[in-house]
């Protein structure tokens, strides 16, 4: 098959879905690889680098789309990008079908077979295609780098001739993929890290990464835990206890990184305005939940603000794109693993096997049908 990587058109998006290195893997599966000119420029991959990897470069999106059987990209397609596609073509990208009903209908009407990278089931076998995790890992790491860049002090403690420096205290709220990556980055910079999650089973993971789990004195320790490893909304009593604990911690913490999300809901408000007011000048909050409304009351999505008491609040929503080269390498790998599953004989022939849990789970339109939401996966 001919696989084509489009240049992203979303403002500021630096990622690309095919890299020169992932192109090599796709070729070994028997595919031809194509890209639009400039597709990798913002991630550091020139047209010449693609050409050296045996990739055909096309002068624009229309020519690329026309030349290929499978279009791969990062962001959900724009109306214009989708309109260029034809019946029977396959699209692989983030899609967010739950928030993009019209896009789903348009893909169905056009007869485009769309595979949503955000719908890959989170089962062990599919980890190599789990782009939500690979991007959350980058976001958690980058959140710490942004915090450090906005913090006028060391993260690590030091004893020097010029004076003794205590380590920065970092609180990570929510210890899913992004939160655990943030814990790893902050501990490796030498900070003293604390972390909280409503799912008590993550306490062990938090501690194994060198951070301290913030325990709540609450009788029902399973209060916020849903089945399948996700959170559910906390009871008002649990939330009150949690906020009480955070109020206790707020004056002490130099950095707060919030990552708390509940599937299908706006982000829970966990870092309230009064907590921000209690923090020391120079402290930094990075709110990774900004796109879903933010965990902090004062977060402004896509912006960095400084409060009257000198607390910096970062609500950027493009953390993976801020590390475009790394994010493209990992996303490119997720995409090529998806294509490896779709090419079982490694002979360049695509087999869209709707009996396969992973392929079925991620397919949102197929043969003029909307196939989202999928039935629950059989393998856990």
H/E element holding 287? strand 284-287
Query: Which one, 36 or 197, has the nearer CB to ligand NAD?
Result: 197
* Active site members: 122, 127, 130, 133, 230
Residue partners of 329: CB distance under 8 A and separation at least 6: 19, 21, 22
Q: Report the residue number whose CB is nearest to ligand NAD.
A: 176
Shortest distance, position 150 Cβ to ligand NAD, whole Å? 23
Residue that is written with structure tokens 């955070």 in the block:
246
> What is the arrangement of strands in the sheet containing 169-173, beginning at the earlier edge strand?
212-213, 192-196, 169-173, 255-258, 284-287, 312-314, 304-306
Determine how many CB atoms are found less than 10 A away from the CB of residue 35: 30
Query: Which one, 200 or 282, has the nearer CB to ligand NAD?
Result: 200
Shortest distance, position 9 Cβ to ligand NAD, whole Å? 26
Query: Which one, 360 or 366, has the nearer CB to ligand NAD?
Result: 360
Shortest distance, position 305 Cβ to ligand NAD, whole Å? 23
**What's the CA gap between 43 and 13, in Å, rounded?**
9
Query: Which one, 231 or 338, has the nearer CB to ligand NAD?
Result: 231
- Residue 46: C-alpha distances to residues 28, 40, 135, 255 (Å): 22, 6, 23, 37
Shortest distance, position 285 Cβ to ligand NAD, whole Å? 15
Residue closest to 224 by CA, chosen among 216, 232, 214: 232
**Strands 304-306, 312-314: pairing kind:** antiparallel
H/E element holding 359? helix 357-362
97-116 exposure pattern, b = at least 16 Cβ within 10 A, e = fewer: beebeebbebbbebbbbbbb
Shortest distance, position 106 Cβ to ligand NAD, whole Å? 28
- The residues binding ligand NAD (CB under 6 A) are 122-124, 127, 130, 133, 136, 173-179, 196-199, 224, 229-231, 234, 259-263, 268, 270
Query: Which one, 234 or 326, has the nearer CB to ligand NAD?
Result: 234
Shortest distance, position 27 Cβ to ligand NAD, whole Å? 27
Residue closest to 380 by CA, chosen among 115, 118, 126, 117: 126
């Amino acid at each position: 098959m001919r696989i084509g990587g489009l240049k992203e058109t979303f403002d500021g998006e630096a990622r690309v879905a095919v890299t020169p290195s992932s192109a090599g893997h796709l070729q070994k599966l028997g595919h031809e690889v194509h890209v639009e000119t400039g597709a990798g420029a913002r991630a550091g991959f020139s047209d010449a680098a693609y050409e050296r990897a045996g990739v055909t470069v096309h002068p624009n999106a229309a020519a690329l789309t026309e030349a290929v059987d499978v279009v791969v990209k990062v962001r959900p397609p724009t109306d214009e990008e989708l309109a260029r596609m034809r019946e029977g073509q396959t699209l692989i990208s983030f899609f967010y079908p739950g928030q993009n009903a019209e896009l789903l209908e348009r893909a169905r009407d056009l007869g485009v077979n769309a595979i949503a990278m955000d719908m890959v089931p989170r089962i062990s076998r599919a980890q190599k295609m789990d782009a939500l995790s690979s991007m959350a890992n980058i976001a958690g790491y980058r959140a710490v780098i942004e915090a450090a860049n906005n913090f006028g002090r060391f993260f690590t403690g030091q004893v020097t001739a010029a004076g003794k420096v205590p380590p920065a205290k970092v609180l990570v709220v929510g210890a899913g993929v992004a939160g655990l990556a943030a814990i790893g980055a902050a501990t490796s910079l030498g900070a003293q890290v604390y972390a909280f999650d409503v799912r008590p089973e993550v306490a062990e993971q938090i501690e194994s990464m060198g951070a301290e789990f913030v325990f709540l004195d609450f009788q029902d320790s399973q209060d916020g835990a849903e089945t399948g490893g996700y959170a559910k909304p906390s009871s008002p009593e649990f939330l009150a206890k949690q906020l009480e604990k955070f109020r206790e911690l707020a004056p002490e913490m130099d950095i707060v990184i919030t990552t708390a999300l509940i599937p299908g809901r706006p982000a829970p408000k966990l870092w309230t305005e009064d907590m921000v007011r209690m923090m020391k000048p120079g402290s930094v909050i990075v709110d990774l939940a900004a796109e879903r409304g933010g965990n902090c009351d004062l977060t402004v999505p896509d912006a960095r603000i400084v409060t009257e008491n000198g607390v910096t609040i970062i609500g950027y929503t493009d953390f993976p794109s801020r590390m475009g080269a790394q994010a493209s390498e990992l996303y490119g790998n997720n995409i090529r693993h998806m294509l490896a599953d779709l090419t079982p004989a490694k002979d360049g022939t695509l087999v869209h096997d709707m009996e396969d849990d992973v392929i079925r789970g991620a397919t949102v339109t197929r043969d003029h049908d909307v196939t989202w939401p999928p039935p629950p996966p059989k393998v856990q």
